[in-house]
Amino acid sequence: MPALSNVRVVDVACGADHTVALDSHNNVWAWGRGEHGQLFGSTNRPFTAPPTMAAKLSPAVAIAAAGNGTCSVSAARVPRCVGQSAGVVF
């Protein structure tokens, strides 16, 4: 994954067909299927192959994914979720 080759990943979470990673600078990276908005909050990106920073979920101190949903938690403990997030548990 060239997009993450110089990035220190500290956590990874996987949904049904997508993956998110949290880096050491609190950025969330996402890739995989995204037709339900589970990567970036928008449904107009049905698939993202290279890991791409997810601005709607960054910055974060924790991540979670399940089914077709993804959530992150900010340093102020504010949760942010995209996609169909039912079933995401921290």
Beta pairing partners, 23: 9
38-67 pLDDT, tens digit each: 999 888 888 998 999 999 999 999 999 999
Neighbours of 65 (CB within 10 A): 26
Q: What's the pTM value of the predicted model, to 2 decimals?
A: 0.90
CA distance 22 to 24: 7
21-33 pLDDT, tens digit each: 999 999 999 999 9
Contact present, 31 and 50 (Cβ < 8 Å): yes
Average pLDDT over residues 7-16: 96
